[in-house]
Amino acid sequence: MGVGAPSVALADDSRREQPPGLVWDWSAATLGAIYALPGAVVILSDRSRGLALALGVLPAAIVGLMPKRRGRLAIIVLGTAIGVPMLIGGVLADVPVLAVAAIAGLGVGSALLAARVRLGGVAMTLSLPMVGVGLSYPGLGKAAGIAGLMVLGSIFGCAVSMFWPEHAAPAPPAAGSKPTLGYGVRLGAAGATAAAIGFLLDLEHVGWACAAALLVMRPTAEMQRLRSVGRILAVAIGALAAIALVRLSPAAWVYSLAAIAALAACGATHRSRWYVTPSFTTFLVFLLLLYSRPQDAASRFNERLLETLLGVGIAYAFGLGLPSLAQRRRRRSDQPS
């Protein structure tokens, strides 16, 4: 899983004022730690289920705390926007041709929706990548379990957030360029290409490259470059931190503290301009994958990093390479012969 939408993922990144590179909010860190408590308690008796519960509250930590309590219902919206698309991806994964075609079509559709309504930004920047993530969990049963955790975790997070006092709303985000049909076609093509390669190579986690491509693609070149570099670094850091921990063969309470720390940090840094969220999501995913099989650390790291590089490379080709090539051709055609 590679959830990575900083702050409230209800608008495209190009539409918000640029925050500092790295932001730390102690109130949000405390809230993230509280979100982690149910999973941390369960980890003491069942590490697998406890870590899964910790992953389930990630949407609540990522969305941040809305100024007004009514607005905090958006946490449930975000959890649903993550969980349901993952379920759809899991169902599509059983029919690779259909899955690839669906990713391409959804890329176009979500971009057109994002150009018209605010919630379309959620569909394009978050829900679509989560369909890609779902390709790694084929079958209705497994995908439904993961989707259910996301939705239930978000409901729990929303309930907890209601105890936090209301506060003044920040300045509204600056208006930015809207995604075009051409961008939607390139977005869908990038995701479909990554998914097709995953199926053709029979990768264990087909959705990792696909999700990476869709998560870093943005209509603005500057934001895509920032997210591309950030995702590669964050994934590597999160994976290496988890590997270092599991190789110590720690007691269950150490995993509990690690889950609390990861969710606290995820919440505290959610408004950062740097793309740091994947480090915390990757950390938790790797703990879940490796706690019982630390001997798989090297292969899992190579798999995750290489598939992330594949997805980011595909996104670069469609998001930056093709527009640059088209621009150069237009300049040549405009020059007098």
Is residue 172 in some structural domain? no
Domain that holds residue 118: 24-164+180-322
Rounded Cα gap, residues 245 and 267, in angstroms: 21
Asked whether the beta carbons of 319 and 217 are under 8 A apart, the reply is yes
For the chain, what is the domain count? Answer: 1
Look at the block and give the residue holding tokens 């890609």: 132
pLDDT of 7 reads 40
pLDDT of 111 reads 96
pLDDT of 146 reads 85
pLDDT of 10 reads 39
Is residue 1 in some structural domain? no
Question: Cβ–Cβ contacts within 10 Å for residue 325, how many?
Answer: 11
pLDDT of 264 reads 97
Is residue 327 in some structural domain? no
pLDDT of 144 reads 87
Is residue 3 in some structural domain? no
Is residue 62 in some structural domain? yes
pLDDT of 3 reads 54
Is residue 12 in some structural domain? no
Rounded Cα gap, residues 115 and 113, in angstroms: 5
Question: Cβ–Cβ contacts within 10 Å for residue 241, how many?
Answer: 17
Look at the block and give the residue holding tokens 């979500």: 110
Is residue 335 in some structural domain? no
Is residue 119 in some structural domain? yes
Listed in sequence order, the residues at least 6 apart from 198 whose beta carbon sits closer than 8 Å to its beta carbon are 135, 205, 206, 207, 208, 209, 210, 307
Nearest in space to 39 (alpha carbons), one of 24, 58, 25:
58
- Token pair of 52, please? 């899964």
Listed in sequence order, the residues at least 6 apart from 137 whose beta carbon sits closer than 8 Å to its beta carbon are 86, 89, 90, 93, 143, 146, 207
pLDDT of 326 reads 82
- In the DSSP assignment, the letter for residue 154 is H
Which residue type is seen at 103?
Answer: I
DSSP string, 267-284: HHTTT-SS--HHHHHHHH
Would the pTM count as exceeding 0.75? Answer: yes
Look at the block and give the residue holding tokens 């997070």: 157
What tens-digit pLDDT sequence spans the chain (337 residues)? 555 544 433 344 444 456 678 999 999 999 999 999 999 999 999 999 999 999 999 989 988 888 999 999 989 998 999 999 999 999 999 999 999 999 999 999 999 999 999 889 999 999 999 999 999 988 888 788 888 889 999 999 999 999 999 888 766 555 557 899 999 999 999 999 999 999 999 998 999 999 999 999 999 999 999 999 999 999 999 999 999 999 999 999 999 999 999 999 999 998 888 999 999 999 999 999 999 999 999 999 999 999 999 999 999 999 999 998 988 888 777 776 5
pLDDT of 5 reads 45
Question: Cβ–Cβ contacts within 10 Å for residue 323, how many?
Answer: 14
To 10 degrees, what angle do helices 96-114 and 74-92 make?
150
Residues comprising the chain, all counted: 337
pLDDT of 176 reads 58
